[in-house]
Amino acid sequence: QLQLQESGPGRVKPSETLSLTCTVSGDSISATVYYWGWIRQPPGKGLEWIGSTYYRGRTYSNPSLESRVTMSIDKSKNQFSLSLSSVTAADTAVYYCATTPSATIITYFDYWGPGTLVSVSS
């Protein structure tokens, strides 16, 4: 069974880059049956998909965030990462990493990390 754990700074300054890592246990991140994704949730609000990436480099992102989002996979550490540039207070949210059991399209998210709160403030 997969387990996911987000890590990263809890606070980022406006205009800087938010960087988070998701550590995967229970399977290899190079497994051919998963997309690795990020979803966020501003305090008291709903869920917003940020993007998903496949170990062979295929990546899809929310059009509203695409210009600021970079995702990558580190096979040696069994981790995948999110970078969100030029952050503002609107990027304050709980950030979740999650998996999609598919090698072709992003369908649903079956395993989730517990989430990590990132606050954007000076």
Partner 1 sequence: DIQVTQSPSSLSASVGDRVTITCQASQDIANYLNWYQQKPGKAPKLLIYDASNLETGVPSRFSGSGSGTHFTFTISSLQPEDVATYYCQEYESLHITFGQGTRLEIE
Residues interacting with partner 1, by CB under 8 A?
Answer: 39, 46-49, 52, 60, 62-63, 96, 98, 105-110, 112-115
Within 8 A by CB and 6+ apart from 75, the residues are 28, 29, 30, 55
Min CB(79)–partner 1 separation in Å: 18
- Choose between 33 and 75: whose C-beta lies nearer to partner 1: 33
- Choose between 76 and 108: whose C-beta lies nearer to partner 1: 108
- Choose between 39 and 87: whose C-beta lies nearer to partner 1: 39
